[in-house]
Structure formats: structure tokens, C-alpha cells
Structure 1
Amino acid sequence: MIIPAIDLLNNVVVRLTQGRYHTPSYYDIDASQLARRYATEGAKMLHLVDLSGAKDAQARSTSGLLALTKSTDLAWQVGGGIRSADDIQQLLDHGVSRVVVGSMAIRHPELVVEWLMRFGADKIVLALDVRPTQDGRWLLPVDGWTTETNRELKECLAFYACVGVRHILCTDISRDGTAKGPNVELYRQLCHQYPDIRWQASGGVGSLEHIAQIAATGVAHLIVGKALLDGIFSFKEACICWQNASSPV
């Protein structure tokens, strides 16, 4: 399924390139208007990220996020600055379908396991976003990709695969916002190694051909932001391409 993304920085619709906060691309459209547009075009779910909260949890605009999720009847998955069970509970209590947990999944995995057990694996999406190294490793930065860590994707996956995680969003940060193509081989490997996880791909999509390539890897969902905002293709075109590429021959 194609899931349109709405990224907010200080409550304004933006897109970042490779996570660089100092050079955002601003879009002259109200977030609720954008959400309603995607709903009209046939979207079933929207991916909403509070970038201010992702960088600094104290800057989260919870009231703004919740107001936005009420602007349509669509399902929402929401992330950015989630640091506690209370944060998750508040979003779920207000009708959010899934909560995206990133930095905490890397810094405090034992606590996140407790959340998975408390709220259910279908309610939490782990955001394990990766930055490639020259020696072939995939490292996991935190705080909206602004703080580097030594944690590796492979060790994190080995841990969470044993505790029943169901949804993982993985973004190759080096591709994000570039429209130069997604990391197809990464998603192919992830789907092969962990077929029971419902993978969400994100980053680098800039053409319908890119969508077809990702659909063929076996991921469950593809999150698309910049290409839709820039009008490279429509949501309907993206969905048709996804369905055609995902359908068995």
C-alpha cells in the first residue's frame, strides 16, 4: 500500500533532504488541506511526523498533531518525539491507528518491548532508519537523525525479531528526499531475512519506476512524500503502479 507522508516542522509542511534540518523545503499548503486532498484521492492511511518533536521531544506539538488527525476519517500512523507509554496512550486514545517509535527503539529496547506487550504489536511501528558506512555497516542515528550512535541495524533486528515486532519502517537516510531512487537491495534483503515482519520502505522515490522496484521486493507499504508534493506523479498513478508491480504474474 502507498502511504502519503506529511512532515511538519514548527507545524509547517516541509520535506528534508537526507535529514538536514537547516535546509528544509517548505510547501505552501496547510497540513489539514493536504490530508483532505490525499483522502479525496483515495488514500487509506497517512504517515505524520512531527520533525520538531523528533529532534527535541520537548518541542512536540501534540495538540496540533491530534487536531490534524481529526481533519479526515483516514487511518493515521504518527511519530516524532515519542518517549513514553503515556505519549503512545494519548495518541491511541485519540484514534491514531499506529504510533511510530524511533529513538527509544534504539536507546531503550527493553522498554519498547514492554510497550509492544502493553499496546500490541499492531499498534507500534519501529522506525529503524539507517545511515550507510564506508565499511558496509548500517548505523542507526537518533533524535531525528541528528545524533549518531554505534548501534547497527543487524543487531537491532536480531533483538526485535525475537519479541514479536510486526511493523518496521526503514529509511535509508542517504536516499531520503533525493528522488534519486530507493535502496532496493536493502529492502530485498530485509524481506528475505525477516519475512514475518510487515516492512515499510521510505526514501529516494522519484518516479513510478522506483515504486515498481520497491513493490517487487515484498515490502508491505511504501511511504511517499516529496514526489507527491512536487507533483512528479499523482497518488492514483502511484497506487496503480504499486498494484501492478505487486500482482502475481
Structure 2
Amino acid sequence: MIIPSLDILDNNIVRLYKGNYKQVKFYDYDLFNLAEKYKLGGAKILHIVDLSGSRNPKNRQIKLVEKIIKKIDLPIQIGGGIRSIKEIEDLLALGVSRIVIGSSAVTNIYETKKWFTKYSNNLVLAVDVVYRQNTFSEIKINGWVKSTGKDMIKLIYEYKKIGLKHLLCTDINKDGTLDGPNFNLYKNITRKFYDLRIQASGGISSIKDIENIKCTNVSSVIVGRALLEKRFNISEAIACWQKE
């Protein structure tokens, strides 16, 4: 599945370069018109990253999320600084379909496992990594500014034990670069976790990238900047993904 992504910072559509808030690019799109365009182009779900909430949970753009859900008839997957069961349940009550959990899955693993046990169909484990050639892929948290020293594979196994279904993996050094995805990273993950619904994120720049990433056996690919900069449109991406 192709999942279009919109990163929102202070109500603006943006892209960060490798997650760096000091390297932010603003896009002059109407958020609701663009989301509707993705829907009409065939998208089945929309991925929203609340960058304001990721940087500071007190600044979560909850009113904007609520407005998106009301105006756009499309399932919403959202991430960005979600760190409590109350936030999860509030978002589900608003109508969010899936919620991405990243930092808390590393820093508060005991409690977070309870969330995944209770809401396994609605939660996505996010591992945002600095990839090091199949040996050790270090997870970063808190908007990718804090190193953890923790390995991606070990963490995924921890959550797989309690029924993990959805995994989102982002190569930080590829995100927002248009340099192409890290195919080796996703081949490595899908070999080890073939029964998970794995979403790949970071670096997609062309239809050729989509053709090639299908060979890694990921379930979905998140596309952000390439769509915003009209490298291809959502219909072309979906047609490529569906083509045998």
C-alpha cells in the first residue's frame, strides 16, 4: 500500500531534512485540499506527523487533527510525541484509526507494552534508526535528537512477544532527502519479521524507488516529499505498487 504522509508543524505542511528542525522546508498547500486530492487519487489511509507534538507534547495540534478527521473521509494514522494511554484513548475517541508510538516504546517499555496488548490493532511501533550495515541499527527518540544506544532488532522482538502487528521503520539518514530508500534495511527487517505489517519510510524519490522497494516485501511505503514536490502523483504511485 502507498501511504501519503503530511508532516505538520504549527499548522503548516513541512518537511524536515533528516529530522532536523533547523532544516525545515515549508510547502504552500492547503492541507485539506491536498488530503482530499490524495483520497481522490486512491489513497486508503493518510499518515500525519504532528511535529509540534513530537517536539513538545504540550503543543500537540489536537484541534487540527480533529478538523482533519471531520473534513476528510479517510482513515488517519498519526504519530508525534504520544506518550500516555490517555492520549491514545483520546485520539481513538476522535476517530483516529492507527497511532504511532516511538519514543515511549523505548523509554517506558513496561507501560507501553500494556498499551500494545490492549490496542494491538490500533498501534504502530515506530523505530527511527541510524542504520549500520546489518550489524547494529541504533534507535533515536524525541524527534530523533536523542541517541539511545538501543538496537532496532532487539526492541522489535520485545514487542513481537506481546502481539505486535504494525511496524513503521524510518531510516533517519534517508528521511526527507529524496536519495532513495535503504533497501538493505528493509530486506533485513522483513527477513526477520516476515509476519509483521511493515511500513517503510524515508528517501522515496521516484516511481523506480517504489518498484524496487516492493522487492523487499514490506507491506506499505510512506511517501511524503516526493508527492509534495510532484516527482510523481499518488495515482501513479498506487498503480506502480499494484502492478505485478
Q: TM-score normalised to the size of structure 2?
A: 0.96
1:32 is aligned to 2:32: yes
Q: Distance in 2 between the 1:48 and 1:167 partners?
A: 16
CA–CA separation in structure 2 for the residues paired with 1:104 and 1:219: 24
Q: Which residue of 2 aligns with 1:127?
A: 126
Return the alpha-carbon distance in structure 1 between the equivalents of residues 147 and 30 of structure 2: 32
Paired residues of 2:42 and 2:238 also in contact (CA < 8 A): no
For 1:43, the equivalent position in structure 2 comes to 43
Q: Kindly state the Cα deviation for residue 41 of structure 1 after the two structures are TM-superposed.
A: 1.3
Give the C-alpha shift of residue 69 in structure 1. Answer: 2.0
> Separation in 2 of the partners of 1:80 and 1:37?
24
Q: Root-mean-square deviation (CA), in Å?
A: 1.3
In structure 2, what is the equivalent of residue 218 of structure 1?
217
Q: Is the 8 A contact 1:101 1:126 kept in 2?
A: yes
- Structure 2 alignment gaps of length 5 or more: none
SS in 2 for 1:21: strand
Name the residue aligned to 2:53. 53
Unmatched tracts of structure 1, length 5 or more: none
Map 1:64-213 to 2 at 5 A: 64-119=64-119, 121-133=120-132, 136-213=135-212
Aligned residue for 2:5?
Answer: 5
Distance in 2 between residues matched to 1:89 and 1:223, nearest whole Å: 24
**Equivalent position SS for 2:147:** coil
Identity level (%): 41
Letter of the 1:63 counterpart: K
TM-score (norm 1): 0.95
State the Cα deviation string for residues 100-138 of structure 1 (Å, max 9, x = none): 11110111122111001222x110011111013589421
1:176-195 superposed Cα distances (whole Å, 9 cap, x missing partner): 11111101111111111111
Q: Secondary structure at the match of 1:179?
A: coil
Distance 1:49 1:148 in 2: 20
Distance 2:236 2:164 in 1: 31
Contact 2:17–2:176 under 8 Å retained in 1: yes
Which of the two has greater strand per residue? 2
Q: Which amino acid aligns with 2:179?
A: K
Q: Which amino acid aligns with 1:45?
A: I
